[in-house]
Amino acid sequence: MKKVVTGIVFLICITWAQAAPPIVIEITRYGAVGDGKTLNTAAVQKAIDECHQQGGGKVVFPAGNWLSGTIILKDQVTLQFNKDARLLGSTDINDYQNLDPFTDGLGIDVGWALLVAVDAKNIGIEGEGAIDGQGSKLKEQQIATDTRPESQRWGRRPFLLRIVRCENVTVKGITLNYAAAWTSHYFQSKKINIENVKIVSHGVAHNDGIDIDGCQEVRIKNCDVISGDDALCFKTTASTMACSNIVVSGMRLKSNQGAIKMGTESMAPFENITITDCYIYDTNNGGIKLLTVDGAHLRNVQISDITMVNVRTPMLLRLGSRLSVFRKGKDTQQPTGTLENVVIKNVKAQAAAQAQLMPPSGILITGVPGHYITNVTLENIEISLAGGGTIENARQQVPEALDKYPEVKTFGPLVPAYGVWARHVKGLKLVNITLHLDSNDRRPAFVCEDGQNIELANWKIPETTDVPAIVRLENVEKAHIHNINVKGTADALVKAEGNSKGIQVKKNKTPNIKYMLRQ
């Protein structure tokens, strides 16, 4: 009988333990004051540490303005921000820690943060409240004592959120505002879910929205980002872990730089990434930018169902040879990488009339000599452009810029095609491309320099006049150009120059063009 009773008591204890609610700790328990003036770093950290030590649960920020320096999130802890709760970043730069220093793509030492987790598991940040870095106020106080040029001093300013080598991370519902540098940075972490997050972060330089840096098994859904720098950016600042198995959907993006970007820092691969159903607007430096310049392999990327409104230069694809190292002493320089097996489809873009390159162009695709961008497909692409290109513009020589920072302006002052300009490419397939012009443009709709196995199919070309060629191929081997519908006049549909050969031109609708192919 004693054994039976003991067993029953044991089972009851087990059942009670399983049913016990998770630990919930309000930060006020440890003396936090929500007046926006009291520094609460120690009080908030005590609440997180206690929750962690008791096995995990929630640390709650009630309504109020909670001022703090660096807070370290621990295993099994979720931070819950109730309605009208705001975590405010201290404006004293000395209140911040850097738990994982590194160098960014501009060569600046960075890594300080307001809210940081390192080597943690099962963590979360959620709720209806907000985290506000007070970036502009912090900068004002910083420059009173830091006399270095702004290009050097900005790196000392803290990110808003940093997740470093963590697993099972949820960031949901929260609003992230006005970081002093990058807004959110996820580094070499796995199983990340970012959902219904709103970011409004601008006012100081380098206000990236969401930076995914060498992370895997990532889901990003239904976020609204207004950023001073890149809105959604994939990086690999170390060579040891790829950005891979990532799904993004339902994003609304506005940026003073790029909206969707991969590869400003690019040492490890970007692979198996899918991005769908995004709205990009009022963006100043590229709608979609896929870059690998530090040795990374960028491959198996699919982007679809994208709308762009008032975007400067809708697309840039760049394989380059800058070959920087961002974690000194921990990484070594790599050889030039690859950019291959990319599909971008179902894109409708209204390009801004004023762009980085003038007159504007829609899409730039370029490798470097000896390193080709390979097997890229663009399908169902519609772009509206200002036009204005001249005969002289049509012969513009574009710098190779082998080791330069990868940006649209790197290839300025302009490129010789208004629609798509491609160089050092193999297996480029451009299908169902529709172009619109607000004014005459005497540049070709498409120019390819140093290409192999190029296909253009089902293009709709707007009316232009006094144009030497609709398509120009320079040193291109094997090109198939068919079902091109041209409204305007031109001397030639295709002008093949240099050592171009194997050019097929068939089934095109060109009633006002003299020659189908001139060589």
- Interval 117-150: pLDDT, tens: 999 999 999 999 999 999 999 999 999 999 999 9
pLDDT tens sequence across 69-118: 999 999 999 999 999 999 999 999 999 999 999 888 888 899 999 999 99
Q: What is the pLDDT of residue 104?
A: 86
Q: How far apart are CA 340 and CA 489, in angstroms?
A: 35
pLDDT band at 1; cut points 50, 70, 90: very low
Count of H-run helices and E-run strands, the chain? 4, 39
- Domain-located, residue 494: no
Residue 297, beta-bridge partner list:
338
Range of the domain at 207: 22-215
- Indicate whether 142 belongs to any domain: yes
pTM: 0.94
Whether 17 shows a pLDDT value over 90: the answer reads: no
Task: Name the residue among 123, 210, 221 with its Cα closest to residue 159.
Answer: 210
| Residue 57 placed within a domain | yes
3-class SS string, 18-44: HHCCCEEEEHHHHCCCCEEEEECHHHH
234-262 average pLDDT score: 98
Residues 6 or more apart in contact with residue 21 via CB below 8 angstroms: none
Strands 288-292 and 315-319 come out as parallel
Query: What pLDDT does 105 receive?
Result: 83
pLDDT digits (tens, 9 = 90+) for 297-354: 999 999 999 999 999 999 999 999 999 999 888 999 999 999 999 999 999 999 999 9
Within-domain flag for 496: no
Give domain status of residue 482, yes or no: no
Strands 35-39 and 64-68: parallel
| Contact (Cβ atoms closer than 8 angstroms) between residue 34 and residue 67 | no
Q: Which residues pair with 177 in a beta bridge?
A: 132, 200
HSE-CB for 463 with a 13 A CA cutoff: 3
**Is the per-residue pLDDT at 9 higher than 50?**
no
Task: Please indicate, yes or no, if residue 129 is contained in any of the structural domains.
Answer: yes
Whole-angstrom distance, CA of residue 367 vs CA of residue 89: 42
Give me the residues paired with residue 335 across strands.
Answer: none
> For residue 486, which of 466, 504, 470, 497 has the smallest C-alpha distance?
470
Q: What angle do CA 382, 388, 394 make, to 5 degrees?
A: 90
pLDDT above 50: residue 170:
yes
Dist CA 71 CA 321 (whole Å) = 38
Mean pLDDT value across the chain: 95
Helices (H), ranges, 177-262: none
Here the tokens at position 231 are 């809105």
User: In the chain, how long is the greatest CA-to-CA distance?
Assistant: 104
The model's pLDDT over 355-375, given as tens digits with 9 standing for 90+, comes to 999 999 999 999 999 999 999
The whole-number pLDDT of residue 20 equals: 57
What pLDDT does residue 22 have? Answer: 81
The β-bridge relationship of strands 252-255 and 490-497 is: unpaired
Is residue 220 assigned to a domain?
no
Rounded Cα distance between 62 and 28, Å, is 8
CA distance 29 to 482: 72
pLDDT tens digit string along 465-514? 999 999 999 999 999 999 999 999 999 999 999 999 999 999 999 999 99
- Tell me: the pLDDT tens digits for 221-242? 999 999 999 999 999 999 999 9
| Tokens read off for 157 | 């300013």
pLDDT tops 70 at residue 11: no
Q: What is the CATH number of the domain that holds 42?
A: 2.160.20.10
The encoded tokens of residue 398 equal 């574009």
Buried b (16+ CB within 10 A) or exposed e, 189-204: bbbbebbebbbbbbbb
For residues 81, 82, 83, 86, the Cα torsion angle rounded to the nearest 10 degrees is -40
Give the separation between CA 235 and CA 255, rounded to whole angstroms.
Answer: 17
- Residues 371-417 have pLDDT tens digits of 999 999 999 999 999 999 999 999 999 999 999 999 999 999 999 99
Q: Given the structure tokens 């971008």, which residue do they identify?
A: 344
Nearest to 107 by CA among 175, 55, 154: 154
**Structure confidence at residue 495 (pLDDT):** 98
Specify the pLDDT at position 5: 44
Number of domains in the chain: 1
CB atoms within 10 A of CB 503: 19
pLDDT tens digits for 194-222?
999 999 999 999 999 999 999 999 999 99
